[in-house]
Amino acid sequence: MADVAGSLPKALRALKHEIRLVTPRYRTIRERRFGLRDVARLRSLNIEVGEQVYECSIKSGFVTGSKVQVYFLDNRGLYESPESDSECADKTGKIDCHISFALLDHAALQLMMLLQWIPDIIHCNNWQTALVPYLLKTDDRYKEAFINTRTAMHLYDISYQNTFPSDRADEIGVNPESLKQDDLLEDGSGISFVKAGMSAADLVITASPSFASASKSTEDSSSDLERLISVREDEVHDAPNGVEMSDWDPSTDDYIVQQYSMDNLAEGKAINREALLNMLKLPAELDVPVVAVISRLIDQKGVDLLTEIESELFSLPLQVVILAPEKYRFENILKSWGEKYPDKIAIKLAASKALEHQIIAGADIFLTPLHGEQPGLSQIYCLNYGTIPIVQCSSRLADIITDLTPEKAGAKGLTFDDNNGSELIDALKYALDIYQNQPVWQELRSCCMETDFSWIGVAEKIIGLYQNALSRQPYCE
């Protein structure tokens, strides 16, 4: 989501549209490093969220490498650090994410009114900002000011719906007594930002054409949300993710040992592969491909599938590299693999941008054994770097990755059946067979690298969706 929120606005700006961002000012956003500056009338703001008033300030800056203005909302009590979706979903924790993001949503609207800058479109990213479409439909303070504004709800993954108790509605600026059983905001077990956004937004955007059908089978889906997805299925539009080419271009990537392009693909991959193995203290075996997994290690992200096929997986002639930016219950399982198969696997349980780049450049295969995995940017990065992705054919990633078959030219990876260990092993064996046939393998790599995932093309499609929404009456369920 951060990649999209940072990259899409630059592409929209390049196409001559005016765009501004509002985001929390977390402590990781350093004032000097990012050139933040005070705006005189925004140094001290009282943001009203229902009956509660929050003392905030706003600093201004720009998206790196562009003239896209960003307003950073500062409230030390609520934005000490970014919180992951899983932390926000932990109802037993002390994280008040519903308040944090309700404040962000109210503040964004009140800021626009204060600046007298009323946009044609408010583009809301995921559940954290999904309250905005609902507020424009239900809060009298905003109805008149934004009467001609349309809202776009951009959903990435609804595995985390992050519902909150209904009796805390007043904490997000909603009168609890106004909630009804079929209210746009209430979703059976409590307040759902996702349901609010899906119910009230004029436009719903996803990164994949199969989002709606995949969402209906999500384990966490409630009947209310399933109904909404069914009602709005014809109005859900896909806009695939793009790639920030200045950051993810193997010919200019400063994070990797050897820069390369289509012209020296085989040589560049080989040098980066050897450097990666040396870095991770794995033996360099020329005829054995390196398989990479980069993922958050949480239950529904599919490490259980790797556990199911452990013995057969490590009997294959391959080496495995796993980079996991967060530590969860699978940490001990992975460490045990490292002890049992020291020459076959290397594991890094830490976030590292430099290592992520080197892994994608040095790996031969990128494995996504993850049911429900959002069509993330890592798989697109891999295509840019000539690293072959393997994904589940029923996942939303399969909209991007096209399978290699004798009947299909221009393939961009391999697929296997959903959540099936034996099918995953078969896909890996097929990949190993192709790897031994280097002319075919190099052709597959070349097809991957020829794909255009630039943000300009994505932005042009989204502008068309904006214009369509503006040409219609506001959506009302």
- DSSP per-residue string spanning 67-122: --EEEEEE-TTT-SS---HHHHH-TTSS--HHHHHHHHHHHHHHHHHHHT---SEE
pLDDT digits (tens, 9 = 90+) for 12-52: 999 999 999 999 999 889 888 889 999 888 999 999 998 89
- Is 61 or 64 the better-scoring residue by pLDDT? 61
pLDDT at 404: 55
How far is residue 89 CA from its own chain's centroid? Answer: 17
One-letter amino acid for residue 196 of the chain: A
**Do 160 and 19 share a domain, yes or no?**
yes
Question: Quick one: what percent of the chain has pLDDT higher than 90?
Answer: 45
Domain with 295 in it: 262-452
Structure confidence at residue 417 as a pLDDT band (50, 70, 90): confident
pTM for this model (two decimals): 0.75
pLDDT at 300: 47
Mean pLDDT of the chain: 84
Q: Is 346 exposed, middle or buried (0-12, 13-18, 19+ CB in 10 A)?
A: buried
Which of these, 170, 221, 173, lies nearest to 195 by C-alpha position?
221
Question: Quick one: what percent of the chain has pLDDT higher than 70?
Answer: 83
Residue 423, pLDDT above cutoff 90: no
**Do 176 and 269 share a domain, yes or no?**
no
pLDDT at 454: 82
> How do strand 290-294 and strand 319-323 relate by DSSP bridges?
parallel
Which of these, 131, 22, 128, 12, lies nearest to 66 by C-alpha position?
12
Residue 247 maps to a domain: no
**Do 59 and 189 share a domain, yes or no?**
yes
pLDDT digits (tens, 9 = 90+) for 135-194: 999 899 999 999 999 999 998 766 666 678 888 888 999 887 777 655 788 777 688 888
- Is 159 or 410 the better-scoring residue by pLDDT? 159
Structure confidence at residue 89 as a pLDDT band (50, 70, 90): low
- Average pLDDT of span 407-422: 68
**Do 15 and 97 share a domain, yes or no?**
yes
> Which residues are within 8 A (CB) of 398 and not within 5 positions of it... i.e. 6 or more apart?
210, 391, 392, 415
Residue 251 maps to a domain: no
Among 101-110, 115-124, 167-176, which stretch is predicted with the lowest mean pLDDT? 167-176
Which of these, 131, 286, 268, 264, lies nearest to 196 by C-alpha position?
131
**Do 464 and 445 share a domain, yes or no?**
no
> Which residues are within 8 A (CB) of 21 and not within 5 positions of it... i.e. 6 or more apart?
5, 9, 63, 68, 69, 70, 71
**Do 194 and 298 share a domain, yes or no?**
no
Residue 131 maps to a domain: yes
Residue 78 maps to a domain: yes
pLDDT at 220: 47
Helix (H) or strand (E) holding 143: helix 140-143
Give the domain CATH number at 68.
3.40.50.2000
Among 44-53, 89-98, 337-346, 414-423, which stretch is predicted with the lowest mean pLDDT? 89-98
Residue 120 maps to a domain: yes
Structure confidence at residue 305 as a pLDDT band (50, 70, 90): confident
Query: What is the domain count for the chain?
Result: 2
**Do 235 and 283 share a domain, yes or no?**
no
Strand order in the sheet with 150-155: 121-125, 150-155, 203-206, 236-238
Residue 375 maps to a domain: yes
Residue 299 maps to a domain: yes
Residue 104, pLDDT above cutoff 50: yes
**Do 160 and 36 share a domain, yes or no?**
yes
- Helix intervals (H) in 437-477: 438-449, 455-471
Please tell me the distance from the alpha carbon of residue 356 to that of residue 48, in angstroms, as a whole number: 42
**Do 154 and 182 share a domain, yes or no?**
yes
**Do 315 and 219 share a domain, yes or no?**
no
Are the C-beta atoms of 314 and 344 separated by less than 8 Å?
yes
Residue 289, pLDDT above cutoff 90: yes
Residue 269, pLDDT above cutoff 80: yes
**Burial state string for 459-468 with b = 16 or more CB within 10 A and e = fewer than 16:** beebeebbee
Structure confidence at residue 371 as a pLDDT band (50, 70, 90): very low
Most confident of 34-43, 106-115, 388-397: 106-115
pLDDT at 276: 97
**Do 461 and 354 share a domain, yes or no?**
no
> How do strand 345-348 and strand 319-323 relate by DSSP bridges?
parallel
**Do 147 and 273 share a domain, yes or no?**
no
Among 2-16, 228-242, 305-319, 419-433, which stretch is predicted with the lowest mean pLDDT? 228-242
pLDDT at 418: 66
Are the C-beta atoms of 56 and 105 separated by less than 8 Å?
no
- Average pLDDT of span 316-320: 96
Residue 353 maps to a domain: yes
